[in-house]
Structure 1
Amino acid sequence: MNNSLFAASAADLTIERIRALAARPDQVESLTLEFKREYSKSMVKTIAAMANTYGGMILVGVNDKVEPGVERVVGVDAQEEIDKIASGCREKFDPPWEPTFIPVPFNDGTGRSVVVIRVDANVAPRPLLIDLQAPIRLSGQNSIADRDRLLKLAREEPSGGVLHMGQNVMSPNLERDREGNCTADFILRTGFNLPMGEAASWRPLSERAVTDLAQALNNSVFPDALKALGNSSFTSSTGFQQYGYNRSRTARLAYRALSRSTVPHPVEAVVTVALPEVYGTSTVAPATVTIDVISRVRRYADSLDNKVGAPGEEYRYPVPNLLDLLEGILTGTVDPQVVAEIARITDIDPALVAQPRELHLVADRQVKELLRTEFLREIPDAGPSAGGVFRANPALDLRDIADRREQVDDWIRQLGLDAGLTGMEALVEGYRARPRRKR
């Protein structure tokens, strides 16, 4: 699920974050999120339905509808609400189980709080029954599992068919020529796993759906960030289109910058959506989305006699270009239209499309030799670094521009420290202080 509050630590669950979530115009009730003004008997059924489906979160003390002049986050007496919900779970659930309750106080002297109920489908006993029936979650509402769905729940292995919160992606490798030499300066990789709807488990990819995903990527900020990586030294590209390994259950969309030099593609980006073959198996493997960015700008600059960089100097990547690249990647992955098209391909609710939580960088040399370092200082005997693995803060919602930039800034600071460089923090702060257009 893409809601950052589900994965956040209790310390990161603040009333300010909840108010910000409730104020989002695009944040409506879904498969994995529900708002409740206060306890009602139907809440226990919702908890069971989320446990039997993809998990989720219920915010108690938040009006489910936004009305002019009506406060949405109103709060409740936390202990009283938790006692009622826990009692209902004990009375109704077979086998006995209860979710996690986290009270988030207003801290304004009123004594009111929002109660966050986390329903983790990875740890819930499935099927979770109420009156010998298994509730399941549909888009923003509850239903009852039919015979086939109930049998699948009963037969699944522990955590079967449910995604873990971890969104690990495999580390990439730089391509090499026949002599074993790297053909690129670096490669960045991120991605995420997705559950699949029933139709996605058997049907081939729709040509129209793949074309629409390519169009959504081209309409996002992602291409602008790729262009900026090369200091806008190339003006044409193929845009995202099908290229290379495409099959009935794998779509590979490639963006390729174009040049007339000996390096024809200074920058490439490849977005791969892969649906596993699951027909006839007892467990459901996740679908995967992988995003690779391959940069050859340094090689491109050399082929132009350094015309991309300063005359007579070996080209190095400006840190602001990498900031813009990372921000463009993340902004593209949470773009509502991109999310909608990925959800359509996998036959799931857009609320289940995850956010990237891991980034890999593999370079052909030490990172400090790739970066423009006029504002940075090398730490003596710091040791080599040719990349790294960068984890995301699960408390950050990458749909929010401030959270997204905070995450990018953290990654860039980590990149500098791992490379044995100081001064990155001040460089980033100075860049952020400049007036910029919103993304």
Structure 2
Amino acid sequence: MRAVVSTLSLLHAAPSEFTIERVRALVNQVGPEAPTVEYKEQMADTVARGVAALANTYGGLLLIGVTDRTRDLKGVKEKTVDYVADHCYAKIEPPWVPEIIPVPMDDDSGRYVLVLRVVPGQHPSPLLVGGIAYVRDHSTTHPADWQRLKQLFGEPESAQELAWNLQAPPQGGQDEDFVIRTGLNFPVSREALWRPLSERSIDAFADALNNSRLNSLLRRMSMGPAWSGGLYPFHREGFNRSRDVRLQWSGAPDNWPAGRDYPVEAVAHIQVPGAYGNHGQRLHVELDVSARTSGMFIALQEGRLPVEAVREPISVQGLAELMDAMLEAFVSQGIIAPLAELGAIDPLAVPQPRNLHVVMGRPVVEVLDTTGLREIRNAGTSLGFHLLADPALDMADAAERWRQVTLWMQQAALDAGLLGMENVLREIAPPAYP
């Protein structure tokens, strides 16, 4: 059984996927209680307060049958489920009961660890206990202050996290093969609303990107097999302010014509609320990768070969590996840690990417290598695809992330009127990880 890296996949996994091994892995990974995980050794009068606090903050899991200090899995009797349900319904205002998943112990004791699942947005907001709105702060539960109360009562009734929380990038010109965008959009703590973006945290974010597999992939894309040329790793360039940061990456092979757009560019844009005119309470991070590699040889051999003779399509494997590397970057600790600092939240509360947009400058069938694929007659033209992650897949797990990417590639092909992608993907090995 793989190690659980966060509570996110368990928040959306089917109840049948909960095993005691997975619960144990979660407890070992999280360690002491966190903003999204709370332990109770047995049924107690504080369970409703813990459930309400999770709901009023980030959501999460409350585990009954796990000791607080030593984090041993002791379990409780099966009939405790009824006590918990009755307790929550009686104590929480308005009356509400979270999903309760009994996970059997593996020691023949007949006992269970109860997993109370609080999915953000799938409950009334706010939840009160004894007229008090409790919230989570790191590993503690306490009443909300007046500012947090104002936020909680100001949230709309349908405060469920939007699935599509990133806008698609703008359509490029015909010289642009594609632009891929992914990123994060998540609530920040009150402290983040009045302080500038830390230079140290931004530097750490840029360093993590420059040391990631994505950087190596971009370099290979931009320079080809020669592996030489001009490389400009992620650095501040363009519009930068105290609460708005733009990091640029670009690369080109030797002898790249002056004044011509780079074959590969990337931009990381980080924006924290609080600037004049920006009244939100979410940290917004976008990562765009723009590729013009099919025209790379046009630029280098301009005037000697016709355009059609040197334009090269993008391989299915190359596009899939780029998607995978972008997702991997956003679930690495090197990225999560500075983003948590910028948002003044616990690293466990930093979400995983949910959206990935691909916008192409020409029809997909002209940009993507369609070897092994066949077109559906009269299927129409597609200039890209908008992809939504399965929340039950953990992007921090390499195998599950690649599973998500292959599902996206199948969706992209069908949206472009192409059949056969499943067979093509069977011939592609997942990326090799160091």
Q: Could you say which TM-score interval applies, normalised by the shorter chain?
A: 0.7 to 0.9
Shift of 1:428: 1.7
Aligned to 1:318: 315
Residue 294 (structure 1) aligned to one of 290, 314, 318: 290
SS at match of 2:34: coil
Gaps of 5+ in 1: 176-180
Aligned to 1:253: 247
**Residues 15 and 90 of structure 1: is their aligned pair in 2 closer, same or farther, counting only changes over 3 Å?**
same
Give the stretch that moved more between structures: 58-67 or 251-260. Answer: 58-67
Determine the C-alpha separation between the residues in 2 that align with 1:365 and 1:352. 39
Does the 8 Å contact 2:15/2:101 carry over to 1?
A: no
SS at match of 2:428: helix
Aligned to 2:136: 137
Gaps of 5+ in 2: none
Determine the C-alpha separation between the residues in 2 that align with 1:328 and 1:24. 27
**Residues 419 and 234 of structure 1: is their aligned pair in 2 closer, same or farther, counting only changes over 3 Å?**
farther
Residue 43 (structure 1) aligned to one of 38, 47, 52: 47
Q: Does 1:385 align with 2:382?
A: yes
Determine the C-alpha separation between the residues in 1 that align with 2:384 and 2:39. 42
Determine the C-alpha separation between the residues in 2 that align with 1:380 and 1:127. 52
| AA of the residue aligned to 1:33 | V
Aligned to 2:214: 222
Determine the C-alpha separation between the residues in 1 that align with 2:45 and 2:6. 27
Shift of 1:363: 0.7
* Structure 1 vs Structure 2 CA RMSD: 3.4
**Residues 400 and 416 of structure 1: is their aligned pair in 2 closer, same or farther, counting only changes over 3 Å?**
same
Residue 272 (structure 1) aligned to one of 253, 269, 272: 269
Determine the C-alpha separation between the residues in 2 that align with 1:17 and 1:226. 38
Q: 1:177-235: per-residue Cα shift (whole Å, max 9, x none)?
A: xxxx5441111112221111112111122222222211121122221222243445554
User: TM-score, normalized by length of structure 1?
Assistant: 0.84
Determine the C-alpha separation between the residues in 1 that align with 2:221 and 2:64. 45
**Residues 369 and 22 of structure 1: is their aligned pair in 2 closer, same or farther, counting only changes over 3 Å?**
same
Aligned to 1:333: 330
Shift of 1:284: 4.5
SS at match of 1:30: coil
Does the 8 Å contact 1:234/1:258 carry over to 2?
A: no
Shift of 1:337: 1.5
Does the 8 Å contact 2:7/2:26 carry over to 1?
A: no
Aligned to 1:156: 154
Aligned to 2:60: 56
Give runs of aligned pairs for residues 17-36 of structure 1, distance below 5 A.
18-19=22-23, 21-22=25-26, 25=29, 29-36=33-40
Q: 1:13-47: per-residue Cα shift (whole Å, max 9, x none)?
A: 44288358527646763211234454333322211
Shift of 1:138: 1.2
SS at match of 2:427: helix
User: TM-score, normalized by length of structure 2?
Assistant: 0.84
Give the stretch that moved more between structures: 374-383 or 353-362. Answer: 374-383
Shift of 1:328: 0.5
| AA of the residue aligned to 2:375 | E
Shift of 1:140: 2.1
Give runs of aligned pairs for residues 30-429 of structure 1, distance below 5 A.
30-61=34-65, 76-78=76-78, 80-103=79-102, 114-153=113-152, 155-159=153-157, 164-175=161-172, 181-230=173-222, 231-235=224-228, 236-259=230-253, 260-262=255-257, 263-277=260-274, 284-305=280-301, 314-429=311-426
**Residues 264 and 94 of structure 1: is their aligned pair in 2 closer, same or farther, counting only changes over 3 Å?**
closer
Does the 8 Å contact 1:228/1:324 carry over to 2?
A: no
Give the stretch that moved more between structures: 198-207 or 18-27. Answer: 18-27
Determine the C-alpha separation between the residues in 1 that align with 2:69 and 2:225. 45
SS at match of 1:238: strand
Determine the C-alpha separation between the residues in 2 that align with 1:27 and 1:229. 40
Q: 1:289-330: per-residue Cα shift (whole Å, max 9, x none)?
A: 1111100111113223499xxx95531112211121011000
Does the 8 Å contact 1:103/1:113 carry over to 2?
A: yes
Give the stretch that moved more between structures: 124-133 or 343-352. Answer: 124-133
| AA of the residue aligned to 2:298 | D
Shift of 1:400: 0.8
Identity %: 35
Shift of 1:368: 1.8
| AA of the residue aligned to 2:87 | G
Does the 8 Å contact 1:167/1:193 carry over to 2?
A: no
Q: 1:303-360: per-residue Cα shift (whole Å, max 9, x none)?
A: 23499xxx95531112211121011000001011101111111111112211111111
Does the 8 Å contact 1:174/1:184 carry over to 2?
A: no
> How many equivalent residue pairs?
421
Determine the C-alpha separation between the residues in 2 that align with 1:295 and 1:27. 42
**Residues 2 and 363 of structure 1: is their aligned pair in 2 closer, same or farther, counting only changes over 3 Å?**
farther
